[in-house]
Amino acid sequence: MQDAKGPDQLFQRALAEGEILLPKCDDCGAYHFFPRVLCPHCHGTAISWKQAGGKGRVHTTTVVRRKPERGGDYNVCVVELDEGVRMMSRVEGIAPGEVVIDMPVTAFVGEAEGVPAVLFKPSEG
Amino acid sequence: MTTELRGKSAIVGTGHAGLGEAHGLTAYDVMAQSALAALGDAGLKLSDVDGLFCTMMEDSMPALMAAEYLGIQPRFIDGTMSGGSSFVNYLTSATMALDAGLCDVALIVYGSNQRTASGRLVTASRPPAYEAPYNPRYPISAYAMAAARHMHEYGTTREQLADVAVAARAWAQRNPEAFERGPLTREDVLGSRMVGDPLTVRDCCLVTDGGGAIVMVRADRARDFPKAPAYVLGSAAASSHRQISQMKDFTVTAARDSGARAFAAAGVTPADIQAVELYDAFTINTILFLEDLGFCAKGEGGAFVEGGRIAPGGVLPVNTNGGGLSCVHPGMYGIFTVIEAARQIRGDAPGIQLKDIDLALAHGNGGVLSSQVTAILGSRNTL
């Protein structure tokens, strides 16, 4: 990943270093996610990387039901970050069924399926 | 406003094979048996087919595999893969190809053995890179999150979702071709195993084998066939995303757009439609599509389906064969929406045959609410 060039490589490299970077269009100023070589809003190709603020809200959520012997139930949700982009993730630190729509959450870099991934925990206060 | 393609093509044959369980058969066997059944219905032979419209779940070049298996060399092939909506979408490309003289006999066909082969959804599609690490269960987690958002914004209830499944079962109970025909109550649905909150296993479509096929010709030839044709009055496609995390509004699908254009092309309105065949992969689908196609206002879909209003004897006949929830769901159900709509118009519905059906709607869904395709079929009286 030393020579990371493509948007996906750059995002993954930052994640591996514990940083969440979001692509932002230099032309229209809008963020987008997932990372790509153009802005899906205005189709501009000048994209900069910005550190994510990490604050967001659960836009929608579900509990994937799984037998206890296979690891039990877990959360899958879509979070909308304050930057206006959405990503699939899960909220950790509370029971999967306790995750509710509009709940304020904070991002952190954790691990999912053995790879670095953006995860969320309930925001404090 | 109608388009110049209105009524230019007609369905002159439908067929199916292996509904439920097709023991010992491959997906392509079921595909071929379906093709033969539809051609038999039309009084045509495989050697008459010069346009092939096909996709399957298991290969990257399924239309070529199908043509090879069938022993035909079509002049025109469309294998566009937009999920289960593909087969409704082929009504548009088949109509265009027929009208332009690129083919004379169009065969739309599909087959699957997913139930007896593995008991679960067979798919050649890769999990999206930015979703896969979170292990969403494909595709139910996506539909569960759409249902959760609809409940949050509009107060839609699990009871209303359950009533969609109960209505589908009531139609299926009168259809000897349907796979699940046992009694089903709202309490049964609510009390069954939760799979992905808020959806239980009874909010989910069946996992069956089965195939379907449709034969189409230009409208000027359609009167020469043994049975009454069903004309394609309008068809339109719209797509909004591929990955569920990219869906802009989880409560509004692109069916709003595909429906509006299909109705405009056909020159009719939702109030004119006498039978509605929707791709009900999950109970939330029926509610979303009834809203987005204009049968009720946004947010009122739950109340619209409540207490048997879309069941036999209700206010609107929806999924008159029992749908993907209770009749058949072999990986992709889309072709069966068209087959049932055509059969209602042609007077050979396998279950409840509604009286004097001149206008029916078929709506296909693909991916995770990603691709929406609406078609309006009509009898000769609507030309």
Is residue B70 within 8 A of residue B44, CB to CB? The reply is no
What is the per-residue pLDDT for B122? 67
As for the ipTM of the complex, it is: 0.96
Tokens at A103, concatenated: 């709940």
Contact criterion met (CB below 8 Å) for A56 and A31: no
pLDDT tens, position by position, A51-66 = 999 999 999 999 999 9
Q: Would the CA dihedral through A63, A65, A66, A72 be positive or negative?
A: positive
Question: Is B246 in the A-facing interface, judged by CB distances under 8 Å?
Answer: yes
**Class of domain A55-122 (CATH, top level):** mainly beta
Q: Does B332 touch chain A (CB under 8 A)?
A: no
Q: State CA A17 to chain mean position distance.
A: 15
Instruction: Tell me the nearest-neighbour CA distance from A42 into chain B, angstroms.
Output: 16
The answer, as to whether pTM is greater than 0.95, is yes
Q: Do B132 and A8 touch (CB under 8 A)?
A: no
CATH number of the domain located at residue range(s) B9-119+209-231 in this protein: 3.40.47.10
From CA B252, how far away is CA B299, in angstroms rounded?
Answer: 10
Is B136 in Cβ contact with A88 (below 8 Å)? yes
- pLDDT band of residue B121 (cuts 50, 70, 90) is low
Of the candidate CATH numbers 1.10.1740.10, 3.40.50.1820, 3.40.47.10, 3.40.50.2300, the domain formed by B138-196+234-382 belongs to 3.40.47.10
Which stretch of DSSP H or E encloses residue B145? helix B140-154
All residues of chain A having their beta carbon less than 8 Å from the beta carbon of residue B152 are 60, 101-102
The Cα–Cα gap between A93 and B105 comes to 60
Pairs of CB atoms within 8 A across A/B: 74
The answer to whether A86 contacts B132, with C-beta atoms less than 8 Å apart, is no
Q: What is the pLDDT of residues B71-101, one digit of tens each?
A: 999 999 999 999 999 999 999 999 999 999 9
> Going by C-beta distance under 8 Å and a sequence separation of 6 or more, which residues neighbour residue B315?
B309
Which residues make up the CATH 3.40.47.10 domain(s) of chain B?
Answer: 9-119+209-231, 138-196+234-382
What are the start-end ranges of the H helices in B173-300?
Answer: 186-191, 255-266, 283-292
| In chain A, where the domains are located | 7-51, 55-122
Average pLDDT over residues B239-264: 98
Identify which of A8, A78, A115 has the shortest CB distance to residue B145: A78
